[in-house]
Each structure stands twice: as structure tokens, then as C-alpha cells.
Amino acid sequence: MAKEAVIPFKGTAQQEEQLKSVIAQHKGQEGALIPVLHQAQEIYGYLPIEVQTMIADGLEVPLAEVYGVVTFYTQFSLNPKGEYKIGVCLGTACYVKGSGDILEKIKEILNLEVDGCTPDGKFSLEATRCIGACGLAPVFTINEDVYGRITADDVPGILAKYQG
């Protein structure tokens, strides 16, 4: 029943060194966990089990408590971000114009869940709140590129440009 990590952990010795020094700075302080998690996410980009285990060991708190905090706050991510970060707007305007179908199409083509990342590290997928481009609804973004007024049928052609 455990969620298997799709992307293998590629942490370096240098990152581990950095994390250890962050832990050492905060150890023994009340409420140390959240600042350590923030900095760990800056170091690694996300918070996989390997990183959470190092934090649990370092701060001497149960791993279940660390995971509980990580899953409570939306700014903490369990998954790495891909080379191409896809964001599908599920704000009200985009949603009524069919962005739900666009999201489903992307999930289907890339075999990807929301908040997930493809095994090759190329694409990650997020469902976002309104991004302020309602005039173009429905909208989705790939890194800095914005695609608006599209339908689910346009999705394969757009993704193909990045898949090569």
C-alpha cells in the first residue's frame, strides 16, 4: 500500500552535507521541523523519503511526524519537478471552459498523476489555481510558455514539441 517513489533519489554528498549543517543549526530548538523542511526543499527541490529520514534521524523526531507535517502544508512537495513543469489552470473560468478535459488528456498522454513527475524527469504536472489569464481560458502552461483557447485535441501536438 506504500507509495513507491517513481524517480530514483539522486542526492549528492554535498547536498547531504548542507542538510546536516541546517539540522545542526536548528537541533534542540522548539519548532525546528518546519524551518528545516523549508531549507531541505531548497537544497533538494523536493522532500523524498531519503531526505525526510535524514531529518527525522537528525532532529530525533518520528518519521511519521515529519511526513505528517510535509503532507499538511501544500508548499512542501514529495515529488521532484520535471525539466518541463506543466501547470493546468483549474480556476473557475478555465474550468467552465473545459480545462478539466485538458488535464485528463495530459495525464493520459504522459501517464502521469497530478503532483507527479515522469520517470525520466522530463515532465511534472500541477493543477493550479487561477493564473490571471482568464481571457485566454482554458489555459495551461509549460515552464514560461502559455497555451490558451485550446481544446483537449490540441494537447498531443503541443506536448510533442517538448517530447523530442
Among 6, 7, 34, 49, binds other proteins (CB under 8 A): 49
Strands (E), 24-149: 84-89, 123-128, 140-142, 145-147
Residue 52 or 141 having the CB closest to other proteins: 52
Report the residue from 8, 14, 72, 135 that binds other proteins according to the rule CB under 8 A. Answer: 72
Nearer to other proteins, 2 or 13 (CB): 2
> In what helix (H) or strand (E) does residue 13 lie, and over which residues does it extend?
helix 13-26
Cβ atoms 77, 114 nearer than 8 A: no
Give the range of 34-42, 54-62, 100-108, 116-124 binding other proteins by CB under 8 A.
54-62
Task: Tell me which residues touch other proteins (CB under 8 A).
Answer: 1-3, 49, 52-53, 56-57, 61-68, 71-72
